Amino acid sequence: MNADTPSPLPRYSQIKRMISSRIQSGDWRPGDRIASEAELVRDMGVSRMTINRALRELTLEGQLIRVQGVGTFVAESKAQSALFEVKNIADEIRARGSRHEAKVILLRREAASEQTARLFEMKAGDEVYHSTLLHLENDVPIQIEDRLVDPRMAKDYLQQDFTRITPFVYLTEVAPISEAEHVIEAVLPEAEERRLLKIPAKEPCIRLHRRTWSDGKLVSCVDLTYPGSRYRLSGRFRA
């Protein structure tokens, strides 16, 4: 790398561009440890502060991971899901040129708790449908979908083969979405969630709580849990 070529960009931006170029070219691949700050200072002929800013910004942008006392590594690329839109995860995965697979962990009828009954405007103890699916992209687990459904809005829900179609596809056919609500939080997964997602105990997850309505009636409440190291949510809106 050479930062001596004249450029209108600030030095730290030039260094960011050079590091990004090496990552994009495959010179540094996901998981590789890149040159240390001291090595970059020596090779680039700039201050440690300049190098630190470049690495810090690349880390914030998700291209690098910095581990104190160990080094700086190229981040694994993350799958991306729309934040403001309600989309079919199978379509998102196929759009990336990948293979989608769904495993049904649970599919049954249950008695509604008091909290669930309030949400669906029913009586505690009334029947609700409960499903849990694990979605995989090229055999890698990327989402746990844990869903409650109002049987009055989707009476044949339990008869569906969710290894062939997703709950999203079935529900949007029988009860088209007229309104949706998203709430996002960072969570530490439970033991069973870690087992399904094949992640270590301390890895945080992103959890998207989604409620969808059709013609003013709540159809479904779903928790979508993503491993933080493999996924990110993005959204764009206009004021």
pLDDT of residue 8: 66
Mean pLDDT of 24-29: 85
Question: Residue 1 pLDDT more than 60?
Answer: no
pLDDT tier for residue 159 given thresholds of 50, 70 and 90:
very high
Mean pLDDT of 162-172: 95
238, exposed or middle or buried, with CB in 10 Å at 0-12, 13-18, 19+? Answer: exposed
User: For the chain, what is the mean pLDDT?
Assistant: 87
Tell me which residue has tokens 């206009």: 238
Q: How many distinct structural domains can be found in the chain?
A: 2
Backbone CA torsion sign across 233, 194, 92, 163:
negative
Beta-ladder partners of 66: 72
Q: Which residues contact 60 (CB under 8 A, 6 or more apart)?
A: none
143, exposed or middle or buried, with CB in 10 Å at 0-12, 13-18, 19+? Answer: buried
Whether residue 3 lies inside any domain: the answer is no
Decide: pTM greater than 0.85.
no
190 and 161 inside one domain: yes
167 and 209 inside one domain: yes
Cα dihedral: 66, 70, 72, 76 (round 10): -80
User: Which of 174-184 are b and which e, b meaning 16 or more Cβ less than 10 Å from the residue's Cβ?
Assistant: ebeeeeeebee
58 and 162 inside one domain: no
pLDDT of residue 142: 92
pLDDT tier for residue 232 given thresholds of 50, 70 and 90:
low
pLDDT of residue 131: 98
Question: Residue 11 pLDDT more than 50?
Answer: yes
Which of 56, 74, 92 is a domain's end point? 74
Question: For residue 35, what is the domain's CATH number?
Answer: 1.10.10.10
The predicted-structure confidence for 84-137, as pLDDT tens digits, reads as follows 467 789 998 888 888 999 999 999 999 999 999 999 999 999 999 999 999 999
The predicted-structure confidence for 193-213, as pLDDT tens digits, reads as follows 999 999 988 889 999 999 999
65 and 83 inside one domain: no
Which of 47, 74, 101 is a domain's end point? 74
